[in-house]
Amino acid sequence: MNPNVCYYDNNRKTDQTELAKNLSENSGFEHVVSYPYTISDDEPAKYAFKQAVQDGKTGLSIECGKLGNVQKENVDLIKKGVYNMLETMGMYSNGTEPHKNIVHLNYQTYIKANAQGIFYSEHKAGDIVKKGDVVGYTTDEFGNILEKY
């Protein structure tokens, strides 16, 4: 997975969305992901940072690392991102510049599975796929393919 910082694009709360976008772009991460905010104000958010947005807070998520293991280079990247965001808010004075070539990853498409099972994919976050590509499949606990996507 490519390290990234992500925020929800909530058009009902434009001030917090603009701050989240600004913090994300100034974080120093190359990849900035914007998720559409598609739930109503009274639906359960199901994710901590989505709930923060639901509650009117500015919420971000940093995705960096592999399988719950700690890698020094990823810890350093996360620290740099947090320091840069604090500097953007005037709370720290030793950040670095934003990434010179920010890649905006917007317009995600979600696929609803019709089968319960284990999902597999050869793709990584940030890979580009086109219409008609198989992006993955679901198997049962014995490895039998139930559905391809």
Verify that 42 and 71 share a domain, yes or no. yes
Verify that 90 and 125 share a domain, yes or no. no
Verify that 121 and 56 share a domain, yes or no. no
Calculate the CA dihedral of residues 119, 121, 123, 126 and round it to 10 degrees.
Answer: 0
Residue 64: which residues within 8 A CB-CB, separation 6 or more?
3, 4, 74, 77, 78, 81
Q: E strands of 12-106, at which residues?
A: 31-36, 60-63, 103-105
Burial of 133 (0-12, 13-18, 19+ CB in 10 A): exposed
Burial of 67 (0-12, 13-18, 19+ CB in 10 A): exposed
Predicted pLDDT of residue 8 = 92
Q: What is d(CA 133, CA 12) in angstroms, rounded to the nearest whole number?
A: 34
Verify that 42 and 115 share a domain, yes or no. no
Predicted pLDDT of residue 49 = 86
Q: What is d(CA 65, CA 107) in angstroms, rounded to the nearest whole number?
A: 23
Residue 130: which residues within 8 A CB-CB, separation 6 or more?
none
Verify that 74 and 17 share a domain, yes or no. yes
Single-letter code of the amino acid located at 70: V
Verify that 8 and 46 share a domain, yes or no. yes
Verify that 33 and 85 share a domain, yes or no. yes
Predicted pLDDT of residue 67 = 64
Predicted pLDDT of residue 125 = 63
- Give the 3-state secondary structure of residue 36: strand
Verify that 56 and 117 share a domain, yes or no. no
Domain region containing 113: 109-149
Predicted pLDDT of residue 99 = 94
- As averages over each run of 10 residues, the pLDDT of the chain (149 residues) reads 88 93 96 90 86 89 80 92 96 92 84 90 80 93 96
Verify that 77 and 26 share a domain, yes or no. yes
Predicted pLDDT of residue 46 = 86
Question: pTM value?
Answer: 0.77
In total, how many domains does the chain have? 2
Verify that 92 and 118 share a domain, yes or no. no
Which of residues 69, 85, 105 is at a domain's end?
A: 105
